[in-house]
């Protein structure tokens, strides 16, 4: 039997020097909120090899709530990395905002593959 656990960590980055400008100090930025999560498939070859662990990803949530760029920042295996990227590209978010307007937000996601 297989069991997969998926975890997402979101972090909003502020622009360089944001605190240096008083007009930017009033800016209000919100993080994207995950609305629809797709769990990755566990490739048969990875299962047979009993590969388990975590794939960490850097992602960009676009202003329309879809996922744009995805980069693997912690590699597990070619098959599991690919499964993680494919699943995350199907996730949907309430977009992050700056002063009430949707903006692209760079964040991270972690997907953990566990066999039981």
DSSP state, 18? G
Task: Kindly list the domain boundaries of the chain, sorted by start residue.
Answer: 2-14+28-115
pLDDT on residue 27: 81
* Residue 48 structure tokens: 């047979």
Is this structure's pTM higher than 0.85? Answer: no
Confidence of residue 9 (pLDDT cuts 50, 70, 90): low
Provide the CATH topology of domain 2-14+28-115: TolA/TonB C-terminal domain (3.30.2420)
Tens digit of pLDDT for each residue in 54-112?
Answer: 999 999 999 999 999 999 999 999 999 999 999 999 999 999 999 999 999 999 999 99
Strand, coil or helix: 3: strand
* Residue 45 structure tokens: 């070859």
pLDDT on residue 25: 57
pLDDT on residue 116: 84
Residues 6+ apart with CB under 8 A from 29: 12, 14, 96, 97, 98, 103
pLDDT at 17 over 70: no
DSSP state, 65? S
């Amino acid at each position: 039997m297989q069991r997969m656990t998926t975890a997402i960590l979101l972090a909003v980055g502020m622009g360089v020097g944001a605190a240096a400008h008083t007009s930017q100090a009033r800016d209000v930025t919100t993080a994207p909120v995950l609305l629809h999560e797709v769990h990755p498939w566990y490739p048969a070859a990875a299962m047979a090899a009993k590969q388990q662990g975590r794939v960490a990803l850097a992602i960009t949530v676009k202003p329309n709530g879809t996922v744009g760029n995805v980069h693997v920042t912690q590699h597990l295996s070619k098959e599991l990395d690919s499964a993680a990227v494919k699943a995350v590209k199907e996730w949907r978010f309430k977009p992050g905002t700056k002063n009430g307007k949707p903006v692209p937000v760079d964040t991270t996601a972690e997907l953990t593959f566990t066999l039981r």
